[in-house]
Amino acid sequence: MKKINSKPFNHLTDEELIRFIQEYSGLKVGVLTGGGDAPGCNAVFQGILDKAEETGYLVVAFKDGFYGVVQELPKLSDALWDAPIDLSMRGGTIIGSSRVNPSKVFLDSEGRVIEKRDYAAKQENREAYVSSAIQSLGLEGLILAGGDNTLSAGCKLSALNIPVVGIPKSIDDDYGFVYAFGRHTSVDRAVGMVDYLRSTAESHGRDIVVEVMGRKCGRIALDTGIATHADIILTPEFEFLSSAVFNILGNNRKQGKRYNVIVISEGAVSVGGEEEYSSKDSDGYGEKILGGSGAAFAKKLSQFYRANGFGDDIVRSQQVGHFHRSGNPNEADRVRGYKYGVGAMELVLNKEWGSMIGYMNGLYISQPIETINHLKRVSDDEYDAQRCNTKLSVLHINGS
């Protein structure tokens, strides 16, 4: 028996693909990934596809997130049909992603959609295009796998009675109450880097400063720091006093420690200091691109060591950057991603539009998509601002 989600024929043009979907008489649901990719996206698709096959749904994938939805003629992908058998194991997203938001689409001089924000360009609200694409293709609704930008757009679409279901994706794990797939692998990448760098730090007696991602939320830094027993952990939630941190590290050396490990979020700021930016350009959200907090900290620490007689050339910095989201997902994100895909299809089957799947306290749950608006930041219960490290108490932390 032929699978529902298999290519009807090869080398489809956009028009032929749209016509095939429009003429398909069975149940249909759309899917897209928005924002930065995260390990586990393809595992999500595998879960969606398996549940879709079981329940008789054709899965219609939009290319490059909302970019593929808000066109005059939708851009679709047939990459999920006859998907490779190792789909869950693959990193990235095989249907592509972008940061296009339907409530504020940017157009070039010829009226074509621009994938990144350009405030000098013409702006247009194209939320109606999402509804039109769903209706013209005969879809029951749209599954959105994404972070704050994508699921915040989902909140607005839901308020307009456009049928959407959300799946939380974030390497920062900064959602209010649920796990976001991608987080485990992103921390694994940072932990692996610190583990490798320890050997050279020990060999040369150098402090190593590792900068991890985290604009407003320091969960990657905190977990990486705990897992690698870092001497100092610096997060965006707590401004740090440089002199106090330098004294902690200097005292470690006075007591015979050969090297120190410092883990710092890209958004961490010292008292009286400012965020560090890697360029003057803005990202797809219109925000300046962070980067350089680790190098800036390392430079100041080197000056402190030199001024206090500890020696020269004893500090190095390394930025994890996009290595966080690279490569294949680990076991946790494969399993969570897969089950999130299955769960999203269950929401579709139950007509729970305006909901998102979530994992909390060992259970997979349904909750309103508006949950995306609650940022889960590092709290006073978890972080010791005096030691610039994790608190040595855990029983009183609720929900961790």
The owner of tokens 């909390």 is: 360
Active-site residue identified among 37, 172, 188, 333? 172
CA distance 358 to 75: 29
Residue 124 backbone dihedrals phi, psi, to 5 degrees: -150, 140
Say whether 195 is catalytic. Answer: no
Inter-residue contact 248 to 231 (CB < 8 Å): yes
Per the structure block, which two tokens stand in for 143? 């599954």
The string of DSSP codes covering 172-228 is T---SSS--BTHHHHHHHHHHHHHHHHHHHHHHT-EEEEEE--SS--HHHHHHHHHT
Inter-residue contact 183 to 340 (CB < 8 Å): no
Per the structure block, which two tokens stand in for 92? 């990235």
DSSP code for 327: S
Angle at 100 between CA 341 and CA 175, to 5 degrees: 50
The owner of tokens 């490990």 is: 261
The owner of tokens 């290519």 is: 7
Per the structure block, which two tokens stand in for 271? 């008292």
Inter-residue contact 137 to 24 (CB < 8 Å): no
Of 133, 29, 6, nearest to 80 by C-alpha is: 6
279 three-state secondary structure: strand
Active site members: 172
